[in-house]
Structure 1
Amino acid sequence: MTFELSDDGRVLRIYLDQNKWVDLARAATGHRLGAPFADALAMARAGVAAGTVSFPLDMYRYWETGKRGDDRSRNDVADVMLELSRQHTMTVPFGILDQELDLALQRRLGRPEHPRRQAVFGVGMQHITQSRMKWPELDLAALPDSGAGLPRGLRAQLKNAVAEVIEEELLRAGPETFRAHGFDHADSDHSQRFVDFENHLAAEIAKHGLTGDAIDEVVRGTDFGDIRPAIVEALDRIGVVYEEFMQDITVGQLLSFVDDLPTRYVTNVMRSAKHRQTQQEWEPNDFIDIVALPVAAVYCDVVVTEKQWVHMMRQSKVDQRYNTILISNVADLVNVLVKASLM
């Protein structure tokens, strides 16, 4: 297991999908269904307090929490998220893809000399969105002399406090709040478009009777087409035309290049495994999992998610490839945290 050194020592990064946060929220509120997870919650709290464990949130935790219409249950989940995450976050996949493309091209072509770098972990929604979201500036106009007499350190503390409040309100906001500001979760069709595409691909796979490695190749081929704009941009940065890059490249080399992009590798492992299990239909929730889990599986130390995804990723040795612990029961965090404390 790989730990990241920080000012507080070794930090174990643990990613929880939405249902696992719900399990811990039930434990935190004394719900009868939360009893099996009480020890895991206690251990998690202790690790966070000691600064040795971090539970980063991603965009999709904000998204799924915000979809919960019941204020009480949504805030129960938000409470435990805020307590354990301390607003630690993971960036969106797109910037990570840019970094992975540059590193893959460097391995293949020796360029770029200075690959783009993307900090995977940070603090707050500002980090998730790579500072595309702007908060209102701290207004000290109501204070005597407009706050000019405030020590610089106190000004910084006030600014941070305001940002923390805004971050918390974003996590707690429900569907009504979003609708009041002109956004409705129900209007987003990304999940359905994803399902429609995968169903179309499944029909083509069935039509041509593809199995085994052939399914893997088709899935990775469609993924290459999906990320082509990012590939073209990365090539342009090193002065290589896309057609030149594709000239004389074999199918095997093309697939190898896609596999050399860690988050895309996991994405395609998940998609391929799902396409093999034709008895399971594609669902809108699959979109969130397939977008969110690859970043966590590559860059976190522990991922706690649905049993089907754990099984699929273990079968493809994702855990061994990226040195990640994959578990499906949040209660199993007790053993993980105990072992980590002994290292």
Structure 2
Amino acid sequence: MIELSDFDAITMPKQLLYYEIDMALRARFGRPTDVTAPRVFGRGIAHLTAGGVHNSLRPTDQRPASEDKSSDLRTPIDHQLEELLLRAGPRTHARAGLRLDLVNWGDLFVQHEVSVAEEIARRKVPRAELLPSVVHSDFNDIASAILHRVTVAGISTTEVTETLGGAGLLQLVQSLPTRRVTNALRVSKHLHPRPHQKWKANDFFDVVQLPVPTVYCDVVFTEHQWVRALTRDKEDRLDERFNTKLIFEPEQLVEVLVSANL
């Protein structure tokens, strides 16, 4: 991956979530007024971890995201330091001062989705209402982040609840671009009966990491199941909404690379 990316990196989903919540709050309440878009694309582990880990020998790359990076020259020692950090495990990072939670998030994610599926089955939620049900569970997941941004913006929780109500809060969640993708991925699994859902720990990484490139990248190469999930709604295809080409076959990737060089 280091050879493929040459240390190009995408910012953490959390940084974009805060930005998207701020934009949604500003659209509804006029606050916060000073929303600054985070830099989605950058270089190295400093950008990947939102400054949590950085190479102190090299200043942060502050160039505009649109600038051509092909002429960026880095010293061999810089490559080696970054690679060592990227290959290190959580305990090594912890010894270096980076706080990392060592909880097995993949297994917890599976348990959470199984519990959501059980609640959907218990309530006998019809297929057409699956998305609102999943969005409701997503609101519970990111409620602390919404409360944090509401507080930072100087908006009272009373104003939020009285202005938006329950339905409005769910609409706010669904208006967040990366959460819209997240919930489309999750719904695709919940469309199937519980015995056939087969949630896997590795799904956690896809559901957490795939939304950012889907919204902010030009081309995304991923599994076929996720491409189907994001293009299933013919009236609201997410590849069209975010102008992102979603592909799942190596041949498609070759075609994209050839077209980019023409």
Query: TM-score w.r.t. structure 1 length?
Result: 0.64
- Gaps in structure 1 of 5+ consecutive residues: 1-80, 139-156
Map of 2:118 onto structure 1: 203
Paired position in structure 1 for 2:212: 295
Give the Cα separation in 1 of the matches to 2:255 and 2:214: 19
Question: 1:120-159 maps to which residues of 2 (within 5 A)?
Answer: 120-135=40-55, 137=57
Instruction: Using the TM superposition, give the Cα deviation of residue 131 of structure 1 relative to its aligned residue in structure 2, in angstroms.
Output: 1.3
The 5 A counterparts of 1:249-328 are 249-278=164-193, 279-316=196-233, 317-328=237-248
How far does residue 194 in structure 1 lie from its aligned partner after superposition? 0.9
Cα deviations by residue, 1:201-221 (Å, 9 ceiling, x for unpaired): 101111111122322111111
CA 1:238 to 1:179, structure 2 compared with 1: closer, same or farther past 3 Å?
closer
User: Structure 1 residues 292, 158: CA separation in 2 closer, same or farther (over 3 Å shift)?
Assistant: closer
- The CA deviation at 1:159 is 8.5
Task: Identify the structure with bigger relative contact order (alpha carbons < 8 Å, sequence gap 6+).
Answer: 1
Measured in 1, the distance between the counterparts of 2:158 and 2:91 equals 49
Percent identity of the aligned residues? 39
Secondary structure of 1:204's aligned partner: helix
- Alignment partner, residue 67 of structure 2: none
SS of the residue corresponding to residue 227 of structure 1 reads: helix
Aligned length: 242
Residue pair 2:9, 2:48 contacting (<8 A) in 1 also: yes
Tell me, what secondary structure is at the counterpart of 1:269? helix
The Cα shift of 1:127 comes to 0.5
Counterparts of 1:292 and 1:231, CA distance in 2? 20
Q: Is the 8 Å Cα contact of residues 20 and 176 (structure 2) preserved in structure 1?
A: yes
Once the two structures are superposed, the pairs formed by residues 96-245 of structure 1 within 5 Å of their partners are: 96-135=16-55, 137=57, 161-173=76-88, 188-245=103-160
Does the Cα contact within 8 Å between 1:232 and 1:241 map onto a contact in 2?
no
Tell me how far apart the structure 2 counterparts of residues 172 and 237 of structure 1 sit (CA, whole Å): 36
Question: Which residue, 219, 236, 251 being the options, matches 1:331?
Answer: 251
RMSD, matched Cα: 2.9
Q: 2: CA distance between counterparts of 1:169 and 1:110?
A: 45
- Return closer, same or farther for 1:222/1:166 CA change in 2, 3 Å cut-off: same
CA contact (8 A) 2:45 2:54 kept: no
After TM superposition, give the deviation of residue 241 of structure 1 in Å: 1.4
Query: What is the CA distance between 1:173 and its match in structure 2?
Result: 4.7
Aligned to 2:5: 85
Contact 1:102 1:116 in 2 (8 A): no
Deviations 1:100-142 (A, max 9, x none): 111111212222211132111100110011112143658xxxx
CA distance in 1, matches of 2:90, 2:201: 18
Alpha-carbon distance in 2 for matches of 1:251, 1:174: 42
Larger C-alpha radius of gyration, 1 or 2?
A: 1
Deviations 1:25-64 (A, max 9, x none): xxxxxxxxxxxxxxxxxxxxxxxxxxxxxxxxxxxxxxxx
- Cα 1:179/1:102, change in 2 over 3 Å: closer
User: What's the secondary structure of 2:31's corresponding residue?
Assistant: coil
Amino acid in structure 1 at the alignment position of 2:248: S
Deviation at 1:87? Answer: 0.4
* SS at structure 2 position matched to 1:223: helix
Distance 1:100 1:160, change over 3 A: farther
Deviation at residue 256 of structure 1 after TM alignment: 1.9
Which residue type is aligned with residue 204 of structure 2? F
Q: Which moved more, 1:118-127 or 1:172-181?
A: 172-181
